Chain A
């Protein structure tokens, strides 16, 4: 309080007036600043909220569209493949069959049986597309290996997978979601990357399961992924994003430190799934 002792008492009146005025000015200034700044914060939050809503809307649309596409595919398969096959069977087994000789009857029944077998196979394939039986019966590891075996069979690209710690299976719906994400990633790699190999690894810590996919072709970085995902064209990436979000997981697209490979990492929390 040195300044108070040093103050000349005759000047006290001025000091008090100016001091009070200054303090009030500061307080009013502060209040005005807070009113305006708070409004800015609110507008920013509202903008953020709207962006989130827009993004959710886009995800929902992507999900509905993908569901519709799946339905159309199933409808097309049923209409174009199963429908004609069953119509042909009906032709073989018409009322006129009883008036024909035994040899023709046997031949017709044999043909009808063949077509019914084909139809059964067709429906089985359709069912497998909806949920792969390997995934359902033997788990993610087997389903991924099965998928990679089929890719290897084409001879154009080498695909391999190594699961280091996958003794305990996750819930089927989670495995299916992860498998769909991997299918989409592999599909994108096959379509766009021109890579010579795909290698997938799985690791586990106490908290997370990590699934990493490497390839030596052209890939995406995280920024590119986020940019493409938000365009109307990036339907597959939107599906990946929404599935990963449902899994409460994270996905990271990056270029390997050696700049040779592209790497996609999926981080899945263990707790939520077991």
Chain B
């Protein structure tokens, strides 16, 4: 069962990628999402290859996954936010994130460190997602928010970040607790599949041709 879910999760990345290739959109945010998926694919291939060979660089390589994932998600959210202050906030949080974490990334590669590091990263991603939703609440762009393609992308990111927060936080106990690794893989795989499906929906949904005319004051 676990093996099946894990493999479905691995191949689920291909679904949004194929949709994007059919779509061929010039939308920058979708391009970011596409490159993010390509990055995940490459990471999976390289990681599996290193893991199979029991390479000593596996953990070091894995350590770079979260910061790069954070960059992609931050960029994706930034492209979908219109308010200048929020955009600045995302940019500043990105800079501060790297200033704070780069030394730790180089020096402290322990299991505890990765656990906290990922939990903090996903907390920031949740905050970014909330910023997007807050903006949508204050300055709605369309009559039904779910007709916007970016909505589904952000929903995918938010659910994945919220759902995996605890397993990343408790990742430090993975060696001590019986069955934790299976639990980790199961939850991660389910949420990973869900996120990829949401990304696929993002690529499928056509952009609205008639934008909603907003009477609220300019937000830029």
Given known pairs A15-B170, A16-B187, A17-B183, the reply for A37 and B162 (CB within 8 Å) is no
B166 and A4: CB pair below 8 A? no
B165 and A35: CB pair below 8 A? no
Complex CA gap A27/B160 in Å reads 10
For A49, give the chain B residue with the smallest CB separation: B215
A23 and B180: CB pair below 8 A? no
A82-135 with Cβ < 8 A to chain B:
none
Q: Which residues of A contact B173 (CB under 8 A)?
A: 9, 12
- Identify B162's interface contact among A13, A27, A42, CB under 8 A: A27
A26 and B162: CB pair below 8 A? yes
Given known pairs A24-B162, A38-B140, the reply for A13 and B179 (CB within 8 Å) is yes
Q: Which residues of A contact B142 (CB under 8 A)?
A: 42
- Asked whether any CB of chain B lies closer than 8 Å to the CB of A41, the reply is yes
B150-185 with Cβ < 8 A to chain A:
155, 158-159, 162-167, 169-170, 172-173, 176-177, 179-180, 183-184
Given known pairs A23-B162, A26-B162, the reply for A38 and B180 (CB within 8 Å) is no
Shortest CB distance A56–B (Å): 13
- Asked whether any CB of chain B lies closer than 8 Å to the CB of A31, the reply is yes
Complex CA gap A201/B35 in Å reads 69
For A19, give the chain B residue with the smallest CB separation: B166
B144 and A39: CB pair below 8 A? yes
- Asked whether any CB of chain A lies closer than 8 Å to the CB of B52, the reply is no
Q: Which residues of A contact B27 (CB under 8 A)?
A: none
For A30, give the chain B residue with the smallest CB separation: B133
Shortest CB distance B5–A (Å): 15
Q: Which residues of A contact B167 (CB under 8 A)?
A: 16, 20
Complex CA gap A179/B218 in Å reads 35
For A3, give the chain B residue with the smallest CB separation: B169
Complex CA gap A35/B159 in Å reads 15
- Asked whether any CB of chain B lies closer than 8 Å to the CB of A273, the reply is no
For B167, give the chain A residue with the smallest CB separation: A16
A1-36 with Cβ < 8 A to chain B:
1, 4, 9-10, 12-13, 15-17, 19-20, 23-24, 26-28, 30-31, 34-35
- Identify B145's interface contact among A16, A35, A52, CB under 8 A: A35
Shortest CB distance A1–B (Å): 7
Shortest CB distance B175–A (Å): 10
For B143, give the chain A residue with the smallest CB separation: A42
Q: Which residues of B contact A35 (CB under 8 A)?
A: 144-146
Given known pairs A10-B177, A45-B216, the reply for A38 and B136 (CB within 8 Å) is yes
B140 and A41: CB pair below 8 A? yes
Shortest CB distance A64–B (Å): 25
B116 and A1: CB pair below 8 A? yes
- Asked whether any CB of chain A lies closer than 8 Å to the CB of B214, the reply is yes
B121-158 with Cβ < 8 A to chain A:
126, 130, 133, 136-138, 140, 142-146, 155, 158
Q: Which residues of B contact A9 (CB under 8 A)?
A: 173, 176-177
Complex CA gap A23/B212 in Å reads 33
A12 and B180: CB pair below 8 A? yes
Complex CA gap A115/B114 in Å reads 105
New contact pairs (20) apart from A9-B173, A24-B159, CB-CB < 8 Å: A9-B176, A15-B166, A16-B166, A16-B184, A19-B165, A19-B169, A20-B163, A20-B166, A20-B187, A23-B165, A23-B166, A30-B130, A30-B133, A31-B133, A38-B137, A41-B140, A42-B212, A45-B214, A45-B215, A49-B213
